[in-house]
Amino acid sequence: MDELRDLYQATILDHNRKPRNFRVLEGADLHADGHNPLCGDQLTVYLELEGERVKDVAFQGTGCAISVASASLMTDFVQGKSLDEVESKFEDFHEMVTSEPDSPVQTPDIGKLAVFSGVREFPMRVKCATLAWHTLRAALQQDGSTAKTE
């Protein structure tokens, strides 16, 4: 069960049980729905901006522990960050969860999000970990489309 505990680290289990920022953001400037058709995960991400910066962010939805915890930790992480920073952190995060299992883990300054490093051992679960981020990006692009991981 060791690999399993690497995947489901205590922080992930905690955020799955008690997701942070789990609410509808009244007066959100932007929002988008995300859907992972393989798993049936369904998220809505809400954003309030102040200029080029995230003023507030929240989410609602259902999904597996990885997708819920990822959304929860992401919303904590991007609070107050500039939109450029959000984009570049998504790239770092994506890089971490899709890197080769045997390569050294790269977690360049993504704070608690490093708990998702175990996901790369489980390629079937990468989409769960990135759904919230894809949805956040869709909200920022605000083209009215539903973010999909397929």
Partner 1 sequence: MSGRAELDVAAIRKDFPILEREIRGKPLVYLDSAASAQKPRAVLEAIQNFYANAYANIHRGVYQLSAEATALYESGRDRVQGFIGAADRREIVFVRNATEAINLVARTFGETQFKSGDEILITALEHHANIVPWQMLGGRRGTKLKVVPVDDRGELDLQAYEALLGERTKLVALTHVSNAIGTILPLKKMIALAKAKGIPVLVDGAQAAPHTRVDVQDLGCDFYAFSGHKLFGPSGIGVLYGRLPLLQAMPPFLGGGDMIETVSFEKTTYAEPPNRFEAGTPDIAGVVGLEAAIDYVEGVGIDAIEAWEQSLLAKADAALTEIDGLRIIGRARDKAAVLSFVLEGIHAHDVGTALDQAGVAVRVGHHCAQPLMTRFGVPATVRASFSLYNTPAEIDVLVAALRETRELFG
Phi-psi region of 40 (alpha: psi -120 to 50; beta: other; left: phi over 0): left
From candidates 100, 109, 124, 143, binder to partner 1 by CB under 8 A: 124
**What is the contact mask toward partner 1 in residues 21 to 60, using x (rule: CB under 8 A)?**
-----------------xxx-x------------------
From candidates 30, 49, 65, 126, binder to partner 1 by CB under 8 A: 65
Contact status, residue 86 vs residue 49, Cβ threshold 8 Å: no
For 124, the token pair is: 């079937």
From candidates 3, 50, 84, 91, binder to partner 1 by CB under 8 A: 3
Helix, strand, or coil (residue 18)? coil
Q: For residue 103, state whether it binds partner 1 (rule: CB under 8 A).
A: no
- Burial letters for 18-41: b for 16+ Cβ neighbours within 10 Å, e otherwise? ebbbeeebeebebbbbbbbeebeb
Residues contributing to the site for partner 1 (CB under 8 A): 1, 3-5, 7-8, 13, 16, 38-40, 42, 62-66, 122, 124-125, 128
